[in-house]
Structure 1
């Protein structure tokens, strides 16, 4: 992975946003020299706060989709930590990270979390290299998480972030979660279908048609 941090913003109200996120994630994964046969998705947050529930909702939806596809049964594949029933949050993050590195010898971690931003960026998804600093709205020192990171900007950043998280619209969170999950699925599926040198078969043009069709239904 390049030492220079790369960050990309995606407006989820634009056509084919999920496709574009999937393409960008794939491009970033292609740049790494790390093995990709044990991908860990760490979805951070709590369902006790609407704005901070993005991570657990993504984890729930992604786990459900992977079970349907049978990838959960792969010896080396994709593992999701952080769901609505078993969230990863400020109080258990360190123990979960210890568990991950105990169970997985060479994990490649993608961290997912909610974030706050400017008025014009509410509803955007960011994708970037390197770890994210979790603990949105929590005055606590937490470890950095992830080799790549994804955030969904759920509300405006301000002086009273915990209150802003509590008053975040659930609709914003759900729409962001759907886009993130779809982008992840279309990125991760080629990685585990073929050997890494050939994962460039990922076809953004084909996916563009798929998402255009879905939006017109």
Structure 2
């Protein structure tokens, strides 16, 4: 399961990240609202852990922005604000749970797992396009039951394309996602990755095609 953590306290974020890894979660961490928005635009996450006291504003603004877009991703607010009024405000803004600092790491993991159990009924864990079966939990693809080996960039690209299969995924969104991997990339990195993923899917007889929409981006669809 892939989580996004928006928390500006470096030491706390490192401790939570380590505990999440031990529990089997993959987590991306950013320290501002702006970077949190970019990450949510670029990637697909199973849950969001959100601090409220961020350097570029109140985390509730990010939460309200997220819900205004129609997103139903589970959100756990993690904050030092302990007043009942703060809890009510956070839940009213769209949070699914509210945990006050300091907290137990075991309780944090238990609450995240509970959120994911409740949300799992809202969408299928597996996405299908052509012969590709994409597992949202493990972020892996299988074709006719056989695993499809992909590089980290190809995995990110596949996730973006299959999550919005039949719709255009903008090139700028893909670039933002690649940037989040923490790697340097050239101006043609997207085109190169698209070419390699196309070839990989063709060799595997995936029954899909990646269509280039010039000036816009790319879309994945069942091969015609």
TM-score between the two structures when normalised by the length of structure 1: 0.32
- Larger RCO (CA under 8 A, 6+ residues apart): 1
The structure carrying a bigger strand percent of its residues is 2
Structure exhibiting the larger radius of gyration computed from Cα positions: 2
